[in-house]
Amino acid sequence: MTTLAIRDLHVSVEADGGKKEILRGLDLTLESWQTHALMGPNGSGKSTLAYSIAGHPKYEITSGEVTLDGADVLEMSVDERARAGLFLAMQYPVEVPGVSVSNFLRTAVTAVKGEAPKLRTWMSDMKQAMSELKVDPEFAQRNVNEGFSGGERKRHEILQLELLKPAIAVLDETDSGLDVDALKVVSEGVNRVRESGTGILLITHTTRLLKLIPTDHVHVVIDGRIVASGGPELAEQIDAHGYEQFAAAASA
């Protein structure tokens, strides 16, 4: 069992010549075999949490802690976090010109696992994962995210997720820009990883992803703090009444 624990996390960014606090005392605990959804309106701090966990230098941790099985995540380099079992699927994956998908994925697996997978086994695993995600085999020879559609970029993120098999995965707005068919395929990929024991944190501002991926816990973040937590019924409440119902708790 792997546990990601976030305690009283405060995070700031540079804005308008000064520092702006985005997260203001956020608490969250996620374990392997669990799926949590972090929901909230745009600008509430959801993506800030994702990038802070991953170690993006733009986000300054001013106080609080993030631990993985007791180890201080905030003291780890970005690559150490990945080797420890953390994974981030970004909302806007970047292009990597000159690097093929196949080489990128094998290099990533080698870096995280500490040894290169046997080539024959690797090719079999990659082809199977690509087939399950309904990805054309020629995709493996294309440069990472170069000229990819939004759906292809998201499928590539889930392809990484399936091949790396992290302990904890943070998926930032994975449903963004996906049509109905692509959303179904991507959700099936997330479910395969979820059912293998990876702890999943789904970050989203709508409920459509949660209709395809079963969640154990739903949290509402507004103005940098979690103001409500519950089961899947909380997502239904959000769907019916929006986020305004939590405004009083956010200002308390």
64-83 residue pLDDT tens: 999 999 999 999 999 999 99
Number of separate domains in the chain: 1
Residues (pLDDT < 50) of the chain are: none
Q: What is the pLDDT of residues 6-40, one digit of tens each?
A: 999 999 998 877 899 999 999 999 999 999 999 99
pTM: 0.91
103 falls within a domain? no
* Range(s) of the domain holding residue 171: 3-94+165-251
Q: Which pLDDT score, from 0 to 100, does residue 251 have?
A: 62
Q: H/E/C letters for each residue in 106-171?
A: HHHHHHHHCCCCCHHHHHHHHHHHHHHCCCCHHHHHCEECCCCCHHHHHHHHHHHHHHHCCCEEEE
Q: Is 159 part of any domain?
A: no
Structure confidence at residue 74 (pLDDT)? 96
For residue 42, tell me if it sits in a domain.
yes
- pLDDT at residue 252, rounded to an integer: 59
Q: What is the CATH number of the domain that holds 48?
A: 3.40.50.300
